Structure 1
Amino acid sequence: MRITTLAAAAAFAFAGSLALAAEPAQAIRQNLLALQPDMPIESIAESPVAGLYQVQLAGGRQLYASADGQFLLHGYLYQVQNGQAVNLTEQAQSKAIARQIEAIDRKDMVVFAPAEAKTHITVFTDTDCGYCQKLHSEVPELNRQGIEVRYLAFPRQGLGSHGAKTLASVWCAKDRQAAMNLAKARKDVPAASCDSPIAGQYQLGQMIGVQGTPAIVLADGQVIPGYQPAAQLAELALRAGK
């Protein structure tokens, strides 16, 4: 009887602790949704700082809040380790972005794969972008170094732009690689239409903070805004893929 009583008491205490743990998340969520009803909150959890909660938003963005949800922080949280400042916010954002990118089906990308891939990069691209065209000319060199190049569409001028129409024709082509090569060489791509993933990819790019092209996402979720020469990009990609 004593054991049963103790077990029941322990279970009650555990349930109580769960309820207390849930209260801050509920309060934070309610306050944030009162500020912005469509705020894309994915999760709320304790941060490494006592009394401070980490709010994970869609797209990898992070907010920090007090347990009652009345105080909010938007910025980087650093931890000093062995005399070095580690950006915990950036680490969390990269992990979230990597998860979202890896969830995309390869059939919805335009992929240039080497014989043996060591790692990959995912590039938000616009066929009308000069630096995107320059990066594309270096894809064979990236492939040679074992880096798979995966393209996602990001029409900089919006979904009604000339770039968006060209991207749709690329994604709807029977041979996407050949169509991408034509587009990046500033040649006409035969018009094609289908139920393409262009709009969803454009929205995803906006969610993770893409503002221009090319925007390069490494395997670990780190986002590189803008063109990088093949040698430099390969070094970053191989390091991120370890």
Structure 2
Amino acid sequence: MRISTLLVALLSLVFSNAQADVEEDITNKLGQIAPDMRVSEISPAPIAGLYQVLLEGGGVLYVSADAGHLIQGTLFDISGNQPRNLTAEAEAVINTQALEALDQDQLVIFAPQEPKTHVTIFTDVDCGYCRKLHEEIDELQALGIEVRYAAFVRAGLASQTAETMESVWCADDRQQAMTKAKRGEAIPMAECDNPLQEQLELGKRLGVRGTPAIFFANGIMLPGYKPAETLAAEAMANQATAEE
């Protein structure tokens, strides 16, 4: 019995050392080809001989055990009845960590009294579908969905839209200012320390290319508009990982 226990311990140690060597080789190789790249986590991929590399701020790579080959793309598991996007699932973990780290005081939040789950939406006040989605904000709250708005100024921080969005974030009543801005109504211009640049950069790192970009509580991203009832149903179906 003691011999078996000792053997298991020795095998575990050998495997741990080998794993550490592989991770070090992969990290060093990635550092050589992209010095600014920051690795968050390395683990065996579902395919033998490949390792999954999670990058800080978002992104997933697959690298061979000898650190000689790199794959950038989407990995699907098609062994079951329905394909699973394994890359999206891995990215969702990174997304959740990044979004949960956001300062809630730097978001514009519309919350029901008893939220069932939440969505984080990168928004632009001059985006047509962002405005359409906001028209249904009361319905979303009635369905138990808390909406957390982050800023994503599509036209850039030197634009008129950025000035309006800064005024929203600097308003005494951000919810009211957001609603007026998305209706195309004038709001008082205001300046303050604001998170527009930080949130724009975060959105880009998380793969946001347009607005609205909706992130569910489990980190899965839904690009584009969905009607309130459909969005609420999908939000409820994608809450477990983050809120169980």
TM-score by length of 1: 0.90
Runs of 5+ consecutive residues of structure 2 not aligned to the other structure? none
Counterpart position of 1:86: 84
Q: Structure 1 residue aligned with 2:123, among 109, 122, 125? A: 125
Counterpart position of 1:179: 177
Q: State the superposition RMSD in angstroms.
A: 2.3
Q: Would you say the 8 A contact 1:170–1:176 is kept in 2?
A: yes
- Counterparts of 2:175 and 2:81, CA distance in 1: 48
TM-score by length of 2: 0.89
Q: Secondary structure at the match of 1:55?
A: strand
What amino acid sits opposite 2:94 in the alignment?
A
Alignment of 1:32-111 (within 5 A): 32-111=30-109
Q: Structure 1 residue aligned with 2:17, among 12, 16, 19? A: 19
Q: CA deviation at 1:12?
A: 7.3
Q: Secondary structure at the match of 2:83?
A: strand
- Counterparts of 1:143 and 1:175, CA distance in 2: 18
Identity %: 46
Q: Would you say the 8 A contact 1:154–1:202 is kept in 2?
A: yes
Aligned residues: 240
Change (3 A) 1:225 1:9: closer
Counterpart position of 2:200: 202
Runs of 5+ consecutive residues of structure 1 not aligned to the other structure? 1-5
Change (3 A) 1:132 1:82: closer
Change (3 A) 1:17 1:161: same
Q: CA deviation at 1:20?
A: 2.0
- Counterparts of 2:169 and 2:69, CA distance in 1: 45
Change (3 A) 1:144 1:43: same
